[in-house]
Amino acid sequence: MPASIVTFEPRVAAFQARQRVRIWQKKQIVVGHLGFKQFQMLKLATVGVAAVKNRVQAALGREDGPAKPLTKRYAIRKTRLRLGNRRNLTFTGAMLRNLQVRTVSERDARAGLSTRKDRIKAWASQNIEPWLTFSPRNQEAIRQAAEWIFAENARNLIR
């Protein structure tokens, strides 16, 4: 069989459809190689990450209630630096800035932190109080975004 002829194998095509695609490549966002469903999942994941970031910056816990209070010494230290004494994970702002969507497939998306230092800080904060979870309001925001994306796709299909 000549090398220029490509045969179609359903198992291989199904495997390729489930592969994860890296969004971040060499410190840049690259979305030109995403398929239609992957791009939709990227939109949904971006909404989810933004919702989590907004909740954490507002010092809300995983159930949309107030976050666990800081320790006494750390609260005094943050107050002296005029950063407030709430658990909003923004002492320098680097950790939340690095929380971004990293990989996307047709069925799921994964977000992560880029630097090792921020991953360690996030792990330590997660052990104190889980913050990298979807609260009920976050889930509602993602559901609304999914409805909007579905409606947008329906309009495009009807044309």
Confidence bin at 16 (pLDDT 50/70/90): very low
pLDDT per residue as tens digits for the range 130-154: 999 999 999 999 999 999 988 888 8
Average pLDDT over residues 58-69: 92
Confidence bin at 13 (pLDDT 50/70/90): very low
* Distance from C-alpha of 123 to C-alpha of 126, rounded to nearest angstrom: 5
Q: What are phi and psi of 147, to 5 degrees?
A: -65, -40
Average pLDDT, the chain: 82
Confidence bin at 29 (pLDDT 50/70/90): low
* Distance from C-alpha of 136 to C-alpha of 156, rounded to nearest angstrom: 30
What pTM did the predictor assign? 0.77
Give me the sign of the Cα torsion angle 73, 79, 81, 84.
positive
